[in-house]
Amino acid sequence: MGPVGAVVGGGQLARMMAEPAAALQIRLRALVEAADGAAAQVLPDSPVGTPKDIADLRGLVTGADVLTFEHEHVPGDHLRALQAEGVSVQPGPDALSCAQDKLHMRTRLGELGVPCPRWARIDSPADLESFAEQVGWPVIVKTPVGGYDGKGVRVVSSAVEISDWMADGGPLLAEEKVPFVRELAALVARRPSGEMRSWAVVETIQRDGVCAEVVSPAPGLEPGLAEQAEEIARTVAEGVGVTGVLAVEMFATAEGVVVNELAMRPHNSGHFSIDGSVTSQFEQHLRAVLDLPLGDTAATAPWAVMINLLGSDLEDPSTAYPALMARYPEAKVHLYGKAVRPGRKLGHVTVTGDDLATCREKATAAVAILRGENPSEEQR
């Protein structure tokens, strides 16, 4: 009947694992926050619960061949306990801790000799001031745990601007503000037995701290930089012992690349691979965590452009399908079954082809239709 996979989290990432799981006859179930959420809609065998409760995790993994994740907010102690009970936890808790805590991540990356922005642990306003004396204001300050989509990241010009975070107690991470030319991501998948495969390095475009657009491969990336970025991803995957997909977000500067952060799961920067690669990051993640041979990561077209649908004026963006599909038959549309809220990641569109500008134009226009912007009379 095929292997059984258990995934923590009920959002769009678990949902997008469902399609390759079905194709490969992997029985996938998710521990979901709500019975009608993005993943639960397509994975019928999905219990509602929280990874903070080990009983919920135990229920999820009963009879499963592997436990994996679509987010990293899972207590390491629970995962160690499950491992001791014989559960295959992929990635394991030690690797995962580098994606859970940005201070820990910076320390580990330093040990691995991976280039990072200059950084410091901040326990007091004085710590921030002395760090700023070295690197200059403004400084980037981050909450080490729990941030996502730019929440938990501030650009500050004085210690007063983080007094609320200081009052919450707990250390903060300060980083120099990197004068980056653009942002890149290197994705690699690694099996427990060590096999690794990477995709071509992509460019990611953030707006208001949220990923808006991804271009694969990163346009005009010098081969040396691409090699460096890919090598960093492999070094981290191996050095930290990551299994499954690892996404390494990076800043490209005039001098080379520095690592921003890590995700140990399929990542927004890899969504293009569903339509733009022989093997998608979702299929690869499942293969990797089940320790199956990895799939070909070659591109299916010279370019792939992925654009996120962030909020919509339509109550249900799928009502725009007739207009969108008539106008852009080449657009690959992915909606996540989520209720519309301003700025919320509701889906994405990927267009692949021979010409980057055309792909970008079509993907942008297709997403605009999903947002409820009226296509012109002629387009309708």
CB atoms near residue 100 (< 10 Å): 20
Report d(CA 327, CA 339) in Å as an integer: 25
Cis peptide before 20 (omega within 30 of 0): no
Residue 202's nearest CA partner among 91, 350, 21 is 350
Q: Is 206 in the site for ligand ADP (CB under 6 A)?
A: yes
> Applying CB under 6 A, which part among 30-38, 80-88, 151-159, 232-240 lies near ligand ADP?
151-159
Helix (H, G, I), strand (E, B) or coil at 168: coil
Residue 261's nearest CA partner among 271, 253, 249 is 249
* Shorter beta-carbon distance to ligand ADP: residue 161 or 195: 161
> Applying CB under 6 A, which part among 175-183, 215-223, 304-312, 334-342 lies near ligand ADP?
175-183
Q: How far is the CB of 353 from ligand ADP (least distance, A)?
A: 27
Report d(CA 292, CA 285) in Å as an integer: 10
Report d(CA 179, CA 309) in Å as an integer: 28
Let me know: does 3 contact 27? Beta carbons within 8 Å: yes
Check residue 260 and report its DSSP letter: E
Strand pairing category for 182-190 and 196-198? antiparallel
* Shorter beta-carbon distance to ligand ADP: residue 140 or 252: 140
Q: Is 177 in the site for ligand ADP (CB under 6 A)?
A: yes
Question: What residues numbered 123-142 form the site for ligand ADP, per CB under 6 A?
Answer: 140, 142
* Shorter beta-carbon distance to ligand ADP: residue 140 or 324: 140
Report d(CA 328, CA 348) in Å as an integer: 14
> Applying CB under 6 A, which part among 43-51, 89-97, 148-156, 286-294 lies near ligand ADP?
148-156
Check residue 16 and report its DSSP letter: H
* Shorter beta-carbon distance to ligand ADP: residue 151 or 380: 151
Q: How far is the CB of 118 from ligand ADP (least distance, A)?
A: 9
Chain centre distance of CA 18: 17
Site track 89-128 with ligand ADP (rule: CB under 6 A), x = hit: ----------------------------x-----------
Q: Is 195 in the site for ligand ADP (CB under 6 A)?
A: no
Question: What residues numbered 241-280 form the site for ligand ADP, per CB under 6 A?
Answer: 249, 260-261
* Shorter beta-carbon distance to ligand ADP: residue 82 or 211: 211
Check residue 269 and report its DSSP letter: G
Q: Which residues bind ligand ADP (CB under 6 A)?
A: 117, 140, 142, 147-153, 175, 177-178, 183, 206, 209, 249, 260-261
